């Protein structure tokens, strides 16, 4: 490889990482702003910055996920571990979390490595997006956009929760949930289906 090609490769790599950092900065601001919209108890910016563990956990996750995508072997997990100690919320750096996701209260939340969460989702304390054993590959749930997951709910395995769905508090979900549905119980069952407009952007 010529020195010109090396320089070009380095420049492109640097540009890509800088673009990724700018995107993360914009996303973090959106994560911060959504706290005002989701929580009527939010009073001012300092309170959210210092006293909202869900916002803090998402910030740590964004940093850890960026490092994870750079294939760094240790630091992403270290950041996740520190975040868990500080907030009580465990998010694997390999998970994929969309924009404007709000974690309310948050203590005890666990989000697995292959979990995917769409835009505008709301998670309450004690939620688990986990696996069902030692499966390989995609083994954690996928949440569409605008999904609300109640306190203590467990969503397990490689299943899909459709956009605009609601999972009741304490539910255990092991099967796919259609969009615009509400599920409750152990095991979770559909109790209502709606026909609502929602925005995934």
Whole-number pLDDT of residue 116:
98
Burial of 170: CB neighbours in 10 Å, binned 0-12, 13-18, 19+: middle
Distance CA 200, CA 167 (A): 18
Whole-number pLDDT of residue 174:
96
Distance CA 50, CA 47 (A): 5
Whole-number pLDDT of residue 16:
63
Distance CA 53, CA 88 (A): 8
Q: Where are the beta strands (DSSP E) in the chain?
A: 90-91, 96-97, 102-103, 110-111, 116-117, 122-123, 128-130, 142-143, 148-149, 154-156, 160-161, 166-167, 172-173, 181-184, 189-193
Cβ-proximal residues to 194 (8 Å cutoff; 6+ apart), any chain: 164, 180, 181, 182
Distance CA 137, CA 169 (A): 28
Question: pLDDT digit of tens for each residue in the chain (201 aa)?
Answer: 454 443 444 445 556 666 666 666 777 788 888 888 888 887 888 888 888 999 999 999 999 999 999 998 899 999 999 999 999 999 999 999 999 999 998 899 999 999 999 999 999 999 999 998 877 899 999 999 999 999 999 999 999 999 999 999 999 999 999 999 999 999 999 999 988 877 787
Quick one: how many helices (H) and strands (E) in the chain? 4, 15
Whole-number pLDDT of residue 19:
67
């Amino acid at each position: 490889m010529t020195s010109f090609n090396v320089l070009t490769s380095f420049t492109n790599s640097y540009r890509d990482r800088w673009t990724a950092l700018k995107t993360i900065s914009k996303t973090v601001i959106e994560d911060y702003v959504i706290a005002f919209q989701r929580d009527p108890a939010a009073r001012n910016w300092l309170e959210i910055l210092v006293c909202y563990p869900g916002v803090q956990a998402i910030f740590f996750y964004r940093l850890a996920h960026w490092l994870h995508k750079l294939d760094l072997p240790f630091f992403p997990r270290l950041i996740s571990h520190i975040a868990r100690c500080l907030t009580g919320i465990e998010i694997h750096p390999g998970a994929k979390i969309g924009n404007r996701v709000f974690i309310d209260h948050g203590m005890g939340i666990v989000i697995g490595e292959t979990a995917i969460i769409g835009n505008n989702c709301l998670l309450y304390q004690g939620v688990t997006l986990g696996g069902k054993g030692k499966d390989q590959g995609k083994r954690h749930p996928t949440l569409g956009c605008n999904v609300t997951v109640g306190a203590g709910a467990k969503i397990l395995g490689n299943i899909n929760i459709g956009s605009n769905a609601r999972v009741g508090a304490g539910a255990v979900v092991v099967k796919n949930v259609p969009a615009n549905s509400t599920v409750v119980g152990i095991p979770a069952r559909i109790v209502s289906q709606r026909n609502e407009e929602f925005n995934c952007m």
